[in-house]
């Protein structure tokens, strides 16, 4: 009886300051009708959060809880009560994703809108990332 040789390839690793990290979370993004981009780990999670942050709560058909309240209150004065409501909404969005845990959230009122900085711990990896998102009254969502 003859057996074929079996080749097992190890998972892909990226070297980040000597720490090996696998591509634990895998997905894709359709940038336009002709391009599909593979995304991994933080970049995939970041894109999913941007999708949620880009949508006003109640705007999505068949899923009125998807999105954020910020687009409904962006022109309102940022009182302490409104600041807490926005923080609760953002923490709820981030906490609903089982791949991440919110570590820190800062909310800054700007002349042109609201700047949000979120520090995220990515579950099952050793990655901690900070995401800056600006909800601009004229330009819309700007993610850095």
What is the reported pLDDT for 144? 84
What is the reported pLDDT for 106? 95
What is the reported pLDDT for 20? 41
The CA distance from 66 to 54, in Å, is: 10
Q: Which CATH class is domain 13-143?
A: alpha beta
User: What is the chain's Cα-based Rg?
Assistant: 19
Cα 137 to Cα 73, 110, 142: the distances in Å are 10, 10, 11
Cα 94 to Cα 9, 97, 131: the distances in Å are 34, 6, 12
Tens place of pLDDT per residue across the chain (144 aa): 555 665 656 555 444 444 445 566 666 565 555 666 676 678 888 888 998 999 999 998 999 999 999 999 999 999 999 999 999 999 999 999 998 999 999 999 998 999 999 999 988 888 899 999 999 999 999 998
What is the reported pLDDT for 10? 57
What is the reported pLDDT for 47? 85
What is the reported pLDDT for 15? 47
What is the reported pLDDT for 48? 87
φ, ψ (nearest 5 deg) of residue 107: -125, 125
The ranges assigned to domains in the chain are: 13-143
């Amino acid at each position: 009886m003859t057996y074929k040789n079996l080749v097992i390839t190890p998972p892909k690793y990226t070297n980040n300051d000597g720490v090996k990290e696998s591509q634990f979370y895998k997905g894709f993004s359709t940038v336009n009708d002709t391009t599909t981009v593979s995304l991994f780990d933080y970049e995939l999670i970041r894109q999913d959060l941007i999708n949620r942050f880009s949508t006003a709560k109640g705007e999505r058909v068949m899923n009125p809880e998807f999105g954020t309240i910020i687009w409904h209150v962006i022109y309102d004065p940022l009182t302490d009560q409104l600041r807490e409501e926005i923080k609760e909404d953002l923490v709820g969005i981030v906490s609903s994703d089982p791949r991440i845990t919110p570590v820190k959230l800062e909310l800054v009122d700007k002349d042109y809108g609201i700047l949000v900085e979120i520090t995220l711990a990515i579950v099952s990896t050793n990655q901690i990332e900070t995401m800056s998102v600006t909800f601009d009254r004229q330009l819309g969502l700007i993610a850095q």
